[in-house]
Amino acid sequence: MPLVTLRKRQKLHKLRRHRPITSRRRFLAQGVALLAVGATGSVWRLSRVTARASEDWRAPIRPPTASKDDAAFQAACVRCGLCGTVCENGCIEYFGVDETTHGALTPYLDVRRRSCTLCMRCTNICPTDALSPVEDDLDVIAETIDMGTAVVDPDRCLSYLGRVCGYCHDACPLPERAIRLIPPARPVVIADGCVGCGRCVELCPQSPTAIDVDRMVVS
């Protein structure tokens, strides 16, 4: 056997030997998720089913037009996963099957990973009233969508710490309407204009981010 092939096999054997063993509970949970979310035959959506601790996600960012009454949203959502299949930026994820507070397999956005591009495709494919159709027009979107409001932390923001940044302003699809800069490049969020898409969060160079989206819910 050639030496190169032998080394490759030895390396693969080491990787398999040291690969963490998935717990039986997680394996079974993923199997259930495949049945529930994969009813339309999409394995891609299974990769977007993630377990999130409820205490860390008290008010998850939901897709556009989701009710601020999260219980009402959970009741209306049938967990079909269609919203995620048409999402332009692939930003829609789903809670794990063991989520009890925010609804198993319901959609949410982790805007630090990927933000909403406001394509409105999810609102137009939803088969229930969990999401309401919105025209793909920026002016209409600005008046209709409210996923939350961006909040700047001046203790972490580079522009408030003596450096010039402005990434959040440049990333915003609604500059001057949702966020503006005051000298020297300090971001100020305009609450009435911010739709909570999270583009500013995704593009913020700080870690943890100096800006985040706060979603108010009613109970």
Residue 157, domain CATH: 3.30.70.20
Is the pLDDT at 180 greater than 60? The verdict is yes
The percentage of the chain sitting over the pLDDT mark of 70, rounded to a whole number, equals: 73
CA distance 202 to 158: 15
Whether residue 112 sits in one domain with residue 46: yes
Q: What share of the chain is helix, strand, coil (3-state, %, to 5)?
A: 35, 15, 50
> Residue with structure tokens 């710490």?
161
Among the three residues 84, 111, 143, which one is the final residue of a domain in this structure?
A: 143
Among the three residues 143, 170, 188, which one is the final residue of a domain in this structure?
A: 143
Is the pLDDT at 16 greater than 50? The verdict is no
Among the three residues 117, 143, 169, which one is the final residue of a domain in this structure?
A: 143
Mean pLDDT score of the chain: 82
Q: What is the mean pLDDT of residues 9-35?
A: 42
- What is the identity of the amino acid at 182? I
Task: Give the pair of three-digit tokens for residue 146.
Answer: 């409210």
Residue of 113, 114, 97 lying closest to 105 (CA atoms): 97
Q: What is this structure's pTM?
A: 0.75
Contact (Cβ atoms closer than 8 angstroms) between residue 49 and residue 37: yes
Predicted confidence at residue 59, as pLDDT, reads: 83
Predicted confidence at residue 219, as pLDDT, reads: 59
Other CB atoms within 10 Å distance of the CB of residue 75: 13
Q: Is residue 4 part of a domain?
A: no
Other CB atoms within 10 Å distance of the CB of residue 151: 14
| Of the listed ranges 12-21, 143-152, 191-200, the one predicted with least confidence | 12-21
Q: What is the mean pLDDT of residues 183-206?
A: 96
Is the pLDDT at 88 greater than 50? The verdict is yes
Q: How many domains does the chain have?
A: 2
Q: What is the mean pLDDT of residues 105-117?
A: 97
CA distance 121 to 172: 19
Structural domain that includes position 50: 25-143
- Please report, in angstroms and rounded to a whole number, the separation of the first and last CA atoms in the chain: 67
Is the pLDDT at 107 greater than 90? The verdict is yes
Whether residue 213 sits in one domain with residue 120: no
